[in-house]
Each structure stands twice: as structure tokens, then as C-alpha cells.
Amino acid sequence: MIESFYHAFHGIWIGLKEERNVRIHLLSAVAVTAMGFWLHVDFTQWAALVLSIGFVLTAEFINTALEHLVDISASHEYHESARYAKDTAAAAVFCSSATALVIGLLVFVPKLLLIFHP
């Protein structure tokens, strides 16, 4: 069981070290968390934010894994099916990110409006 955790954390490390988008999503997660503390979001809002962060990071790691598998199976040569696989996996990340953005707007905009337009 400990070895499974090692491999999972190693995968996170690889993602952070090798993938720019993983770093961007992780920095976004940190920013969202800081905003949540600053704006004193309630339990339900935290649940929505945490689920959104988790879905985006999960989608990004799955996308990264799929890209590596496609590259291996295509022997680093162009194949239209390989491109489609990569593009649709990227679309999954985009959909989860767009959903997270909407949730972030729903949580943060009303609180920001109260601060800046009382």
C-alpha cells in the first residue's frame, strides 16, 4: 500500500516537473483557496470549490497520462487517431476548467460585489 502512495506522489511530482498546464492548474487552485479564505466562503461553497479543483486536476493528470500513452503507441509519429485522442482528452480538461470557472464566478462574484459595491 505504501508503494502505491509512492507511485501516486511520484506521478504528481512528474506532472509538476514536466507539464506546464499542471503547474498552472495547481497555482490556480492555490489562488482559489486563498480567495476562499479571504472572502470567508461557507461550507457549501468550499465543497463546490474543492470538487471543482479536484475535477480539474484529475482531468489534467488523466490527459497527461493519455498523451504519454498515445505518444508511445504512435511511436512518436503523426496519426490522425492519435491527434483525435489527444484533442478529446484536452477537451475534457477544458470542460472541467470551464465548469470550475463558472463555479468560481458563482461563489466569488457576489462576495466581491459586496466588498466593492456595498
pLDDT on residue 118 = 72
Alpha helices in 1-118 (DSSP H): 2-18, 20-38, 43-73, 80-116
Task: Work out the burial of residue 2: count CB atoms within 10 Å of its CB; fewer than 13 is exposed, 13-18 middle, 19 or more buried.
Answer: exposed
Task: For the chain, 118 residues long, give each residue's pLDDT as a single digit of tens.
Answer: 889 999 999 999 999 999 999 999 999 999 999 999 999 999 999 999 999 999 999 999 999 999 999 999 988 788 899 999 999 999 999 999 999 999 999 999 999 999 988 7
pTM higher than 0.75: yes
pLDDT on residue 75 = 87
User: In this structure, which CATH number among 1.10.287.3610, 1.10.357.10, 3.30.1490.20, 3.40.1110.10 belongs to the domain 2-116?
Assistant: 1.10.287.3610
- Report domain extents, the chain: 2-116
Rg of the chain over all Cα atoms, to the nearest angstrom: 17
